[in-house]
Structure 1
Amino acid sequence: MMRIAINGMGRIGRLLFRRLIDNKDLELVAVNDIMDTDNLAYLLKYDSVYGTFAGTITRKPGAIVANGKEIKAFQQEKPAALPWKDLKVDVVLECSGNFSSRAAAEQHLKAGARKVLLSTTGSADIPLLVYGFNQHALTKEETIISPGGCMTNCSTHILYILNAIGIKSVQCNILHSYTSRQELVDAPHKQFRRGRAAAEAIIPVEIDLQHSLERLLPALKDKIASVSTRVPVANGAMADFTIQLQQETSRQEINRLFSTAAENDYKGIIEYTEDQLVSLDIKGNTHSCVIDGSLTTVVGNHVKLIAWFDNEYGFTTRMIDWLSLM
């Protein structure tokens, strides 16, 4: 059984803990975060988005006990000092966001882990592999893997499928729940808008999504622009794509393209619906994106496409997929 450790117990790390604790094929053996372990146990048990943990979580010295399973808990700032070798850790899920360069992530390897799976897009020298798109490019020799982020996992499949028709340009706006990198009340920030109160305003923020998409889809280089608009909800996202195609199309053709993909090659990755969803309906959805065919519009060769995704649950599903593949 593959032995897993999690470094960084923020939103993604804690959700992965919940989802891995009873996994029969993957054994969670340790977590590391600089927060107080009593506080960590509390946050694992009580979650404002996904509710109270269905099982039991208790605290003992140096460990979290969940559903009777003892998980080692460390508070080490330097990954190289963690006992991954002694614990025979196969894969570290690097979820802190602080060790996304190759040199930084390699600290886990020096500590004795066999491989590292990031929870974000890493530096340019780390392979960017999106599950359902290019996971076949993974080699046994690669020790550090970036699975992209939730926005990349939503967007890549959509643009790849549409580029079968031919894309001239893409404008992408990800309407996204607020995140821990924003502020609860107005505060200084190098991106001024990120410093505004997240629960009180609709806030456009700068993102680097287009750079990730250009790495994955080089044929679209210099054809993509992106922005994220943070909205006052705690979970869920709606991706709004405005796409100029090489030729005229129709609403029916676009919807048929994605409904077919969802039923066949992209089953489990893309979902297609014409139900009248709102963001709350997507909570707990395991797909990378849910195409909302009821909102597809076409004028000549201009397409407006809307896709929903749970920015936490969908993405952690892909990370678990990666573990299964590895």
Structure 2
Amino acid sequence: MGDRGVAAAAAHAPSPAPSPAPEQLPPALDDALAGFESYLRDERAFSAHTVRAYLGDVTRLLRHAARSGVRDPDGITLPILRSWLALERTTRHADSTLARRAAAARAFTAHALRTGRASTDPGAGLASPKVRRALPGVLTEDQAATLMAVPDPESGPVGLRDRAVLEVLYATGLRVGELVGLDIDDLDRSRHLVRAVGKGNKERSVPLGRPAMDAVDAWLTRGRPALATSTSGPALFLGARGGRLDQRAVRTMVTRYLGEVAGAAALGPHGLRHSAATHLLAGGADLRSVQELLGHATLTTTQIYTHVSVERLRASYERAHPRA
């Protein structure tokens, strides 16, 4: 078919159906949603990712409530919350997703009560699906030691940076977002500490061991000056163009180096965090200290690493004991 025929066919083809307009919420529900967003962002200081996830969950809830005839937050009842969660379950979401949506709903109804938008808190009676937490993958101590030696500091500034990044991730258990947010002034070189800003803008001081401190010193004296530009600012770790190193580059880099360690899974930066915690507990650190190091809000989150250690002990027992 020639160009003219194609044009003629297109002219007679049915127009694509317009995308449906977003479902509009009643004004009182829309106002409550906006207030909840401000609460999450400004008062709780949640990350942009968490705010986006919670708002998406609550928006779905409010649209469901509006279709049920609810016009304001005070009309949301426990049966409506349960019917919404049951509907979400039919979409075959994972239990972890449903648990987060239930948590978002409880946070919203509690906020509505505190701000006078509702007279009761029906979310207090909403149960969450039980989520079986998978044990995180970790490196062995030998694999971790091998990984630290993979980047070649003699290869230039990038090699120096990569060695320092790996050492800091494993020494501190920092989240990758915390690592790339570090500034030079966050280092206390005399006391071998680094100041990290974690979830909720909470600060904590984390020890740096001698190998990590040496790697950072080498990066600062021989590597960073070669990459720094007028726009580098105070960032501790820089990308190849002189800007602050970003999370994606760190994930790519860690995965690449892990690929050179025999038997190591592609765990990414968070795998180094898991490994650091597990190795600390295996070495005799107490759970409270590891909680503080990782910046966990509750001890329950940290306790999963005790399960990792127990599982590793059981596996060793079953391999070694003649009557296992």
* Higher CA-based Rg: 2
- TM-score, structure 1 as length reference: 0.23
